[in-house]
Chain A
């Protein structure tokens, strides 16, 4: 699988994502600058974390108008996989490719810590290779990760199986205490209706090798490569 790793001014997890897919997973991949207009020749796109355009106005609000984003819209329509991590999730939400909004953490603090994710199902190429009976440990590092949707949208997302991950205890219990940022329904990651676009706040690319404290995140990219 050939991964495109998008780079915006202010992206700072692009190299982590590149390292995870190229050096750890051994797949192909290349950086794509946000001024480019095409994703031809790529099988999947990663929109990495960071602070694109300094988070001015709202997180992701300016990046969504970058030239490459028209290609991302087309890529999504063609059913190609797109994963937006942290700021990438915020960009996808602003671009209207995923529902809801990401607002300030309930605590108003920047949170940097390890969390546990419980996969909700295996209904997408991102989650097909995951085990729904266990949790995946990886870091979050964000100020605006509080996923906000209306009760009606939550209901709709649940009915169409669009919730990919929820924050849980290490044992996999979805509790209020395991919710780091106030997200509706403990949601850590959501899918579009077609299940080829995933946005999540935690960082699988920063948990792809034992040397960094967890390799649970590698399973996400492995699943993409295997089922994509």
Chain B
């Protein structure tokens, strides 16, 4: 299995990177962009696991290390390797 993990700053948490990038996009003429939030994308290989086991491990990985739950939230999807 493979986990695709998305970590983003929580709602209401200041995201200076996102703010700056949003400003740059508007300066480039893309006035439609009202907000940019920047996070992380992580891919994790979990060969020889069941979907259930992969979900369990990925959740643990996010809770214990990959995300700081004070300031970040995460979501992930488990896909079959091709």
Residues of A that sit less than 8 Å from B by CB: 57-58, 61-62, 65, 94, 100-101, 103-108, 146, 148, 182
Show 29 residue pairs from A and B whose CB-CB distance is below 8 angstroms, ordered by the A residue. A57-B65, A57-B66, A58-B68, A61-B65, A61-B68, A62-B65, A65-B65, A94-B68, A100-B70, A101-B68, A101-B71, A103-B13, A103-B14, A103-B16, A104-B16, A104-B17, A105-B16, A106-B14, A106-B16, A107-B16, A108-B16, A108-B17, A108-B20, A146-B14, A146-B16, A148-B13, A148-B14, A148-B71, A182-B14
Measured as residues with beta carbon below 8 angstroms from the partner, the interface class of chain B is 10 to 19
Q: B16 — which chain A residues lie within 8 A by C-beta?
A: 103-108, 146, 182
Q: B71 — which chain A residues lie within 8 A by C-beta?
A: 101, 103, 148
Residues of B that sit less than 8 Å from A by CB: 13-14, 16-17, 20, 65-66, 68, 70-71
A206 CA / B67 CA spacing, docked (Å): 32
Q: A103 — which chain B residues lie within 8 A by C-beta?
A: 13-14, 16, 71
Q: A61 — which chain B residues lie within 8 A by C-beta?
A: 65, 68
A222 CA / B71 CA spacing, docked (Å): 35
A98 CA / B7 CA spacing, docked (Å): 23
With both beta carbons as reference points, the residue of chain B lying nearest to A153 in the complex is identified as: B70
Q: Smallest Cβ distance from B58 to chain A, in angstroms?
A: 15
A108 CA / B17 CA spacing, docked (Å): 7
Q: Smallest Cβ distance from A187 to chain B, in angstroms?
A: 14
Q: A107 — which chain B residues lie within 8 A by C-beta?
A: 16
Q: Smallest Cβ distance from A154 to chain B, in angstroms?
A: 14
Q: A148 — which chain B residues lie within 8 A by C-beta?
A: 13-14, 71
A21 CA / B14 CA spacing, docked (Å): 37
List the 6 shortest-distance A-B pairs measured between CB atoms, nearest first: A101-B71, A101-B70, A104-B16, A108-B16, A106-B16, A108-B20
With both beta carbons as reference points, the residue of chain B lying nearest to A106 in the complex is identified as: B16
A108 CA / B21 CA spacing, docked (Å): 11
With both beta carbons as reference points, the residue of chain B lying nearest to A62 in the complex is identified as: B65
A101 CA / B15 CA spacing, docked (Å): 13
Q: B17 — which chain A residues lie within 8 A by C-beta?
A: 104, 108
Q: Smallest Cβ distance from B70 to chain A, in angstroms?
A: 5
Q: A104 — which chain B residues lie within 8 A by C-beta?
A: 16-17
A182 CA / B17 CA spacing, docked (Å): 13
A182 CA / B13 CA spacing, docked (Å): 13
A103 CA / B65 CA spacing, docked (Å): 16
A62 CA / B64 CA spacing, docked (Å): 11
Q: B65 — which chain A residues lie within 8 A by C-beta?
A: 57, 61-62, 65
Between B13, B20, B65, the greatest number of chain A beta carbons within 10 A of the residue's beta carbon is seen for: B65
A156 CA / B24 CA spacing, docked (Å): 37
Q: Smallest Cβ distance from A186 to chain B, in angstroms?
A: 15
